[in-house]
Structure 1
Amino acid sequence: MSFGVGWTCSASIERASGGPTAGSMYAAGDPTAYFWVHLLLAVTSLVLGTGIGVLGLRGVRAARHGNG
């Protein structure tokens, strides 16, 4: 369940940081440190969340088939 929430939150962050109208994420048209930090956090969250979700699904499958 938290896997889906992570994808939703990360997608929202990335969408909000997508252009010069994103407020404090851009200064004179160039991305700020605030932008880069939050982009890194969003990407890290997606990668870790995807990995954890895949491991969880594999665990559930193994438990159903009696391989665990």
Structure 2
Amino acid sequence: MANSLKHVEPYQIGFKQAALYLTAQLSLLPAVAPGKVPKIMIDILAMAGSFVLPSRRQRHYPRAVKK
């Protein structure tokens, strides 16, 4: 999924929601006519943008290692 989006790294995609969506869509494939599979795959990739997580906010304090 991240490969289909420009400037999005795999760690920026929400795993849980993407996994639930993919599982639901792929479980329907056995009941779909073979000619419709490419359209379903395009639809799956089109939904990839909705699973992108927001960027992290800046820290209020500097990061430090405690001794």
Task: Tell me whether the two structures share a fold, i.e. TM-score over 0.5.
Answer: no
Higher-helix-fraction structure = 1
Measured against the shorter chain, the TM-score band is 0.3 to 0.5
Between the two structures, name the one with larger relative contact order (CA 8 Å, sep ≥ 6): 2
Q: Which has the higher strand share?
A: 1
TM-score (structure 2 length as normaliser): 0.43
Give the TM-score normalised by structure 1: 0.43
